[in-house]
Chains A and B, each alone.
Chain A
Amino acid sequence: MASPFLTPGSHSQLNQLALLHLRRDQAIPTVLQLHDEDNAGYKEGKVTTTRFGSFPHTTLTGQPWGSQIIASKVDTGSRRGRGPQKKNRQLKRKADELTHDSAASTPAAEGTDSHSHSASPQAAVAAASGFLHLVYPTPELWTMSLPHRTQVVYTPDYSYILHRLRARPGSSIIEAGAGSGSFTHAAVRAVFNGYPTTPTSTNASADAAAAPPPPPPPSPSSPSTSSSSHRKRLGQVSSFEFHEQRVGKVRQELKEHGLEGLVHVTHRDVYQDGFLVGDAQTGTSPKANAVFLDLPAPWLALKHLVRHPASGAESPLDPTSPVYLCTFSPCLEQVQRTVSVLRQLSWLDISMVEVNNHRIDVKREKVGLEYEKVRGAVVFPKSVDEAVSKMRHVEENSRKYRELQQQLEDEDHNNNNSTTAATTTPVPASSGAAAAAAGPAKEEHAAPPSSNIPLYKQGRLVHRTEDNLKTHTSYLVFAVLPREWTAEDERKCRDKWPPHRVDQPMQTDKPKGRKQLKREQLQREEAEEQLQQKQQEEEVVGEKPADASEEA
């Protein structure tokens, strides 16, 4: 089976994993099926319910990847089987449904209700609101959405690790501590260069190993590479995990994801029993080019990762290539012990790094007096000029107000002084004038000067580190073990490449390119042709003078 991780094709297919993308860090993985294995009792067959509505798998299957899918009206309340869900989930679903129904218009609703429960899934009816995007799984999206069993190796770490481990198509990787499987998926993608030629046999063995909940002691067949075509080596991942339940889960997942032929999961305590696939003593070697150890005590496993294990068993390493190693440990003490043992075991180029990754928020920061009633904006002078001009207005207004007050007082005074109380009319007029004077100034502020700029372009574009910051994941120790080089190898090499033979004592100018060589060849050919022509001509000409001389 082709894996949607590696060769997704153009459309979603039945029985393949698909991701329902809800928001940036949230995607729901689901295997597309018409019928629900849990028999949750939906009339539409298998349905995945999300916070954005219900999605019968009939609406998800056969769609182009990346499609936006509209939610369907699904009767979640009166189901037959009720499924295995927990109580609170049901309550939540009911609540969802209530809000749903209130939001949904009901022109097409009758259609669903009239049908009785039938064996074939019913056609889904589009809901009035709610959607999501259907995307194919990638190791990155899977890492984001996978069920956590242990600490997960996240994208910033595994991307760097696989790059440094030189995990390339055709490589063989050992991974110890399968954990939640995030690294496993990324590693498969890195080494993938084709599916095994005999998928049936490997599938069968993987099935046999994966089927029962407590998997039997590992007995997978020999790695597919050994039997595959001679000319090309297929990439593979050999995964080891000592937690039995996790082994079962990982196997189940890999099977669902169509990766079972590419990953060999072994239930094993690698400190004790090493890294051979199959039997710990007599199993086949994965011939690894790269090793990733996500173990609490990686130094205890290193004794197995040598060219000639003390136990006399076959080495799990590729004898013809250098082996790259990475260990993943959160504590410095672990690193020190690991590095010390690496030095004793002749690993080279030992280095230790940590990866600091952070995501960056980009937003528009709106500061200014014009942003009144705008959500997320700060109403505050955006510049000294604005602050001063605002202050000026305030001052102006209060001055006017004081003047008015003064005027009123004066007038009162005058009125009191003068005996005639006839001229009371100017008072409201002048106060009105003052109000009018203050009014436009205020409006000037209230009306945003940038109102013709759309809201999404207003403010200043700023960026900052996201709120949730992972400041430390683990320390990464890298090392290389060169391939073995014996005196015998050296002797053979000396025979083939005479050690003191130097043809050109000094390096000549640039080696000639193919074009240059070709050009020279052509020139030579043309020169020859010309030469031949000349010779022919000369022959012709030569004969004449010869005759002439004879005549002479």
Chain B
Amino acid sequence: MHSYVRPNQFVAFKLPSDQTRIQKIVPNTQVFLGKYGTFPANQIIGRPFYLTFDIHETPGEPDSTHLRIVSAAELHAEHLIAEGEGDGDDQEPSDEASTMRTNRDTIDDRSTQKLTIEEIEALKKESTGAGKDIIAKLLESHSAIDQKTAFSLAKYKLRKERKYMKRFTIIPLDVSYLTNYMLQDKEAARTLEMRDEALGLLGCWGNVHHGGSTSFDMETVLSNPNGRYLVVDDTGGLVVAAMAERMGILYPHDGDFDDEQQDAHQNVPTTTGAQGEHDEEAQPTEGAPSRRNRRPQMSAQGNTITLLHANKQPNISLLKYFGYEADDPSDSHPLYTNFKTVSFMQLLDPNADSIYAQEPTEIPAEELSTYKSSKRSAYHRKRGRWMRVRRTVDEARAGGFDGLVIATLMDPSSVLKYTIPLLAGSAPVAIYSPNIEPLTEVMDLYSTARKTAFINRRRELVEQKATSDDSVDVKSELEEEFPLDPTLLLAPTLETSRVRVWQVLPGRSHPLMSSRGGADGFIFHGIKVVPTQEHIEAAGNPSRKKRKVARSDETPADSGEGVDVEMTV
């Protein structure tokens, strides 16, 4: 749980302008917030999240910068006062109408503000009160302030506050916040315009959750490792981060909850499933003393994420915000053991991969001891890498995954072709796409009509094979016509969610006037099933049974609804 600012952690600063700035908090350094000010990082380390601070300083005096916590009452002051006034709003309507100000007499130009820009700049220089005095001056010198309605006055003040207040709120950088940051403050395209609501749905429909500790629960030990998820992620690691968050392996301090205020004793890895395994790999590390007693990278058995990537290296750059550097992961991070990467080429044709295919020749220990330390560690590194790749690739190819989550630039059907067979029965599939078309195509590939045609065609081929002696390759024949086996996925569904934000103020509640457009984000989901190889006739409700005879050639045009007679196998 995020409870206080830890040293060397990335945190988000919410600024008065509603913009967000992300910074790593390094002890004994300065934090720069642009025009909103500068302060020593030590003044926020160890402090709780969600607090709002004002930056105070006396100009010209060194070390005078100090932060003041703005209390919640102060932050809500205006609303609380307005609400207090609102309590008496059961006045007679006539009375209200007479006192109600309108914008009839306001002057729509800048002449009403008597302070010049130079004067404001001078004020800013000598300001000490975190910008409050500037705003007070601005309000004072506004000639038509008394003509403003309460609403427009509030708006005016808010606008000025956004411009001049030296104020910020520290927010823990978690997946939800990072998603919004990427969407609004950075390039949304890098994360496929992923929204919070889509991530939530993706996680739920993908049934992504902690696989359970296997250390003390015998039953789960017996029932194979739990919680192995397969993911294809072209959002720079955002989806991986969201899944890791749901599985409790995202944050370096995941696992230690109590003694929060004390200096965190080193992280306890969340799963203990891999303990004692892969001793073979633990052995070669003996040469390097610093590597002893450490679990090798990507070695966890349960509660793991396996990322399939299109290029040689996966793009998981966003994981750096959670303390996981892609090119140099820290071995104390839970993802170090529980996050595995396999390229599509390694998955489909492992021997084409040079690391997988070429085993570095083993060197006996006696000979090794004569090596120079740098050469020895190079040997261990190579050997370790080969074993790691070998293990992860073989593991991925063996399949049996508990869920599949996809957010990709590639054609989803091409991904499904190779990943669906890797899933265990009843495992969910969830696909995100910023645009709907790739997913409608997937829906079409699993349409009832296509399923029926597939089953009929397969039966034909099987019968053909049985009668004729010449070998009919049922599988390849089918694959030619049907790129995906439509009988492997149950209940394919397409949906979309969109959150609408409201302003809630006494007498002034309404949805926000504008918000970000762009991609809506769509989610496809289904359940992997294992069809029997026997021929089964579907039983429908009797009214539809009449059509059973002719069904094969008059398949329903509607894809999902009301079709009781799903023909299968």
Q: Do A and B come from one complex?
A: yes
Query: A residues touching B (Cβ–Cβ < 8 Å)?
Result: 1-2, 6-10, 21, 23-24, 51-53, 64-68, 70-71, 99-100, 103, 127-131, 133-136, 138-140, 155-156, 158-160, 162-164, 166, 168-171, 186, 189-190, 192-195, 197, 230-233, 235, 289, 318, 320-322, 332, 335-336, 339-340, 343-344, 346-364, 366, 374-377, 454-456, 459, 461-463, 466-467, 475, 477, 480, 482-483, 485, 490, 493, 496-507, 511, 513-515, 522, 525-526
CB-CB < 8 A to A466: which residues of B?
561
Q: In the bound complex, how far is the Cα of B217 from the Cα of A2, in angstroms? A: 8
CB-CB < 8 A to A357: which residues of B?
495-498
CB-CB < 8 A to B1: which residues of A?
166, 168, 170-171, 289, 318, 320-321
The listed residue (B40, B427, B553) touching A502 by CB distance below 8 A is B40
Please judge, given known A-B contacts A456-B447, A497-B45, A513-B328, whether A343 and B556 are in contact too, CB under 8 Å. no
Chain A residue nearest to B457 (CB atoms) is A454
Whether A366 pairs with B557 at a CB distance below 8 angstroms is yes
CB-CB < 8 A to B212: which residues of A?
2, 6-7, 192-195
Chain B residue nearest to A189 (CB atoms) is B209
**Nearest chain A CB to B503 CB, angstrom units:** 8
Say whether B145 faces chain A, with CB atoms less than 8 Å apart: no
Please judge, given known A-B contacts A130-B538, A135-B527, A507-B30, whether A320 and B43 are in contact too, CB under 8 Å. no
Whether B80 pairs with A364 at a CB distance below 8 angstroms is no
CB-CB < 8 A to B527: which residues of A?
21, 66, 133, 135
CB-CB < 8 A to A493: which residues of B?
45-47
CB-CB < 8 A to B529: which residues of A?
66-68, 133, 135
CB-CB < 8 A to B374: which residues of A?
522, 525-526
Please judge, given known A-B contacts A138-B207, A513-B328, whether A68 and B426 are in contact too, CB under 8 Å. no
Query: Which residues of B, 448-472, contact A by the 8 Å Cβ criterion?
Result: 449-450, 452-453
**Nearest chain B CB to A289 CB, angstrom units:** 6
Whether B47 pairs with A456 at a CB distance below 8 angstroms is no
Whether B558 pairs with A376 at a CB distance below 8 angstroms is yes
Q: In the bound complex, how far is the Cα of B558 from the Cα of A1, in angstroms? A: 43
Query: B residues touching A (Cβ–Cβ < 8 Å)?
Result: 1-4, 26-30, 32, 40, 42-43, 45-52, 63, 65-66, 69, 71-73, 75-76, 79-80, 83, 169, 172, 174, 176, 196-197, 199-201, 203-205, 207, 209-213, 216-217, 219-220, 222-224, 226, 245-248, 254-258, 260-261, 268, 270, 325, 327-328, 330, 373-374, 400, 424-428, 436, 440-441, 443-444, 447, 449-450, 452-453, 481, 490-491, 493-504, 506, 509, 522, 527-532, 534, 536-542, 545, 553-561, 563-564, 566, 568-569
**Nearest chain A CB to B27 CB, angstrom units:** 7
Whether B3 pairs with A321 at a CB distance below 8 angstroms is yes
CB-CB < 8 A to A505: which residues of B?
30
Chain B residue nearest to A484 (CB atoms) is B48
CB-CB < 8 A to A51: which residues of B?
539, 541, 564
Whether B72 pairs with A500 at a CB distance below 8 angstroms is no
Q: In the bound complex, how far is the Cα of B28 from the Cα of A496, in angstroms? A: 12
**Nearest chain B CB to A364 CB, angstrom units:** 6
Whether B50 pairs with A359 at a CB distance below 8 angstroms is no
CB-CB < 8 A to B400: which residues of A?
10
Whether B42 pairs with A193 at a CB distance below 8 angstroms is no
Whether A66 pairs with B528 at a CB distance below 8 angstroms is yes
Whether A496 pairs with B3 at a CB distance below 8 angstroms is no
Q: In the bound complex, how far is the Cα of B529 from the Cα of A320, in angstroms? A: 44
CB-CB < 8 A to B79: which residues of A?
343
Interchain residue pairs A-B with the least CB separation, the first 8: A66-B425, A376-B557, A169-B248, A9-B223, A130-B539, A346-B72, A65-B426, A163-B200
Whether B426 pairs with A356 at a CB distance below 8 angstroms is no
Whether A480 pairs with B257 at a CB distance below 8 angstroms is no
CB-CB < 8 A to A503: which residues of B?
28-29
Chain A residue nearest to B171 (CB atoms) is A349
CB-CB < 8 A to A459: which residues of B?
557
Q: In the bound complex, how far is the Cα of B71 from the Cα of A371, in angstroms? A: 71
Chain A residue nearest to B31 (CB atoms) is A507
CB-CB < 8 A to B49: which residues of A?
322, 482
Whether A375 pairs with B532 at a CB distance below 8 angstroms is no
CB-CB < 8 A to A99: which residues of B?
542, 545
CB-CB < 8 A to A322: which residues of B?
2-3, 48-50, 172
The listed residue (B207, B502, B557, B564) touching A140 by CB distance below 8 A is B207
The listed residue (B45, B428, B499) touching A354 by CB distance below 8 A is B499
Interchain residue pairs with CB less than 8 A apart (27) = A7-B220, A10-B425, A66-B426, A67-B529, A103-B539, A140-B205, A171-B1, A189-B209, A197-B216, A321-B1, A322-B49, A340-B83, A347-B72, A348-B72, A351-B501, A360-B440, A364-B449, A374-B557, A376-B556, A456-B450, A482-B48, A497-B42, A497-B43, A500-B40, A504-B29, A507-B29, A513-B328
Please judge, given known A-B contacts A164-B176, A348-B72, A363-B558, whether A353 and B51 are in contact too, CB under 8 Å. no
Please judge, given known A-B contacts A65-B424, A343-B83, A454-B453, whether A375 and B498 are in contact too, CB under 8 Å. no
Q: In the bound complex, how far is the Cα of B491 from the Cα of A21, in angstroms? A: 9
The listed residue (A66, A68, A155, A497) touching B568 by CB distance below 8 A is A68
Please judge, given known A-B contacts A353-B499, A482-B51, whether A346 and B210 are in contact too, CB under 8 Å. no
**Nearest chain B CB to A230 CB, angstrom units:** 7
CB-CB < 8 A to A8: which residues of B?
223, 426
The listed residue (B40, B270, B427, B569) touching A499 by CB distance below 8 A is B40
**Nearest chain A CB to B26 CB, angstrom units:** 8
Q: In the bound complex, how far is the Cα of B219 from the Cα of A351, in angstroms? A: 43
Q: In the bound complex, how far is the Cα of B481 from the Cα of A498, in angstroms? A: 71
Chain B residue nearest to A476 (CB atoms) is B499
The listed residue (A1, A70, A483) touching B534 by CB distance below 8 A is A70
CB-CB < 8 A to A347: which residues of B?
72
Most buried by A among B196, B261, B373, B425: B425
CB-CB < 8 A to B50: which residues of A?
322, 348-349, 480, 482
Q: In the bound complex, how far is the Cα of B561 from the Cα of A95, in angstroms? A: 24
CB-CB < 8 A to B205: which residues of A?
140, 155, 159
**Nearest chain A CB to B105 CB, angstrom units:** 31
Please judge, given known A-B contacts A496-B46, A497-B45, whether A485 and B499 are in contact too, CB under 8 Å. no
**Nearest chain A CB to B66 CB, angstrom units:** 7
Chain A residue nearest to B83 (CB atoms) is A340
Q: In the bound complex, how far is the Cα of B326 from the Cα of A538, in angstroms? A: 45
CB-CB < 8 A to A166: which residues of B?
1-2, 174, 176
Chain B residue nearest to A366 (CB atoms) is B557
CB-CB < 8 A to A289: which residues of B?
1
Whether B209 pairs with A190 at a CB distance below 8 angstroms is yes
The listed residue (A6, A67, A131, A344) touching B536 by CB distance below 8 A is A131
Whether B268 pairs with A68 at a CB distance below 8 angstroms is no
Chain B residue nearest to A233 (CB atoms) is B257
**Nearest chain A CB to B294 CB, angstrom units:** 14
Whether B436 pairs with A455 at a CB distance below 8 angstroms is no
Chain B residue nearest to A508 (CB atoms) is B29
**Nearest chain B CB to A201 CB, angstrom units:** 14
Whether B441 pairs with A68 at a CB distance below 8 angstroms is no
**Nearest chain B CB to A234 CB, angstrom units:** 9
Q: In the bound complex, how far is the Cα of B1 from the Cα of A511, in angstroms? A: 27
CB-CB < 8 A to A156: which residues of B?
197, 201, 495, 497
Whether B210 pairs with A461 at a CB distance below 8 angstroms is no
CB-CB < 8 A to B80: which residues of A?
343-344
Please judge, given known A-B contacts A53-B539, A501-B28, whether A168 and B245 are in contact too, CB under 8 Å. yes
Whether A24 pairs with B554 at a CB distance below 8 angstroms is no
Whether A163 pairs with B176 at a CB distance below 8 angstroms is yes
**Nearest chain A CB to B381 CB, angstrom units:** 11
CB-CB < 8 A to A511: which residues of B?
26
**Nearest chain A CB to B171 CB, angstrom units:** 8
Q: A52-B538, A482-B49 are in contact. List 6 more A-B contacts (CB 8 A).
A: A70-B532, A138-B207, A162-B200, A364-B449, A461-B444, A500-B63
Q: In the bound complex, how far is the Cα of B500 from the Cα of A138, in angstroms? A: 28
CB-CB < 8 A to A496: which residues of B?
46
Q: In the bound complex, how far is the Cα of B166 from the Cα of A220, in angstroms? A: 50
Whether A169 pairs with B30 at a CB distance below 8 angstroms is no
**Nearest chain B CB to A362 CB, angstrom units:** 4
